Amino acid sequence: MNKKVILQDLGQKDYKDTWDYQEFLFQQTLDIKIRNRREELALETPNHFIFVEHPHVYTLGKSGDIQNLLVDEKELDAKGAKFYKINRGGDITYHGPGQIVGYPILDLENFFTDIHKYLRLLEEMVILTLAEYGLKAERSKGETGVWLDVGTPFARKICAMGVRASRWVTMHGFALNINADLGYFDMMIPCGIKDKAVTSLNVELGKLKVDVDEVKEKLLKHFEVLFEAELIKQKALV
C-alpha cells in the first residue's frame, strides 16, 4: 500500500480550473485501478493533497436544493461570485478568499476502505488543529463538518465538508474558514441547514488576521499522523 501523498499548494485559483485538475488526477488513479483489475497487475496508485484558495464561488452538491442559494445571477455578478453545480455530496457551500480549501485525492485502498472513517478523520484533523488555538471544536450529530458550541443556541460552523468517491478514490474535501468574509454566507443557507451560524478562525480569536500558512502546517501535521501518511511536497503543476 502506497501511503505517500503528493502535496501541492495551488495558491489562489479559479474553482472550475481546480475542479478540472482534480478530475484529471482522480481519473488518472481510477485508470490505474481499472488496468490493475483487468490485467491482474499491481501498479502503485498515487495519492494527492491539494491546498487552494478560490475567488468567491458557490457550489451545489448532487443532493442540494437550489433554493438554498438566496440570490440570483445578477446579484452574484454584483458580488463578483460564480456558481457551479458539482458532483460531490452535500448541499450548497461557499468558497472564497481567507479560506483554506483542501482536496485530498486518495486511493483509500492504500489506507482503509471506509468512507465514514475517512470523513471522521478529516474532521478530527480540523478539530485537533483548532485545539492548538484554544478552541473546542466538535462534530454535530448528522451534520458533516466541524462546529463550535454544539448543542447550544450559539452553534456555528467553521469547516464544511463534501466528498465524492468511486472505487475508493476520493475527491473534493473541506473548506476551513480562517480570515473569511462572513457576509458571503448570508447569500445562502449553508449546507442547507437553517438557523445555524457560520464563523471564521480570526473572529473566534478576536484577530484581524490569522497566519494561513501556520494553519496549513498544523493541518498537515495532524493529517500525517491520522492517516499514517508521508507527505511529499511538490511544486504546483497547474
Q: Is 159 part of the annotated catalytic residue set?
A: no
37 annotated as a binding-site residue: no
162 annotated as a binding-site residue: yes
> Do 47 and 106 form a contact (C-beta atoms < 8 A)?
yes
**Catalytic annotation, pick one of 191, 198, 201, 210:** 191
95 annotated as a binding-site residue: yes
88 annotated as a binding-site residue: yes
192 annotated as a binding-site residue: no
222 annotated as a binding-site residue: no
96 annotated as a binding-site residue: no
Q: CA-to-CA distance for 161 and 182, rounded, in angstroms?
A: 17
Question: Across-strand partners of 231?
Answer: 5
Q: CA-to-CA distance for 155 and 199, rounded, in angstroms?
A: 10
Residue 116, CA atoms < 13 Å, CB-side half-sphere: 1
C-alpha triplet 228, 230, 235: angle, nearest 5°:
145
Cell numbers for 124: 478530527
173 annotated as a binding-site residue: yes
Residue set of the binding site for substrate: 88-95, 160-162, 173-175
Residue set of the binding site: 88-95, 160-162, 173-175
Catalytic residues: 191
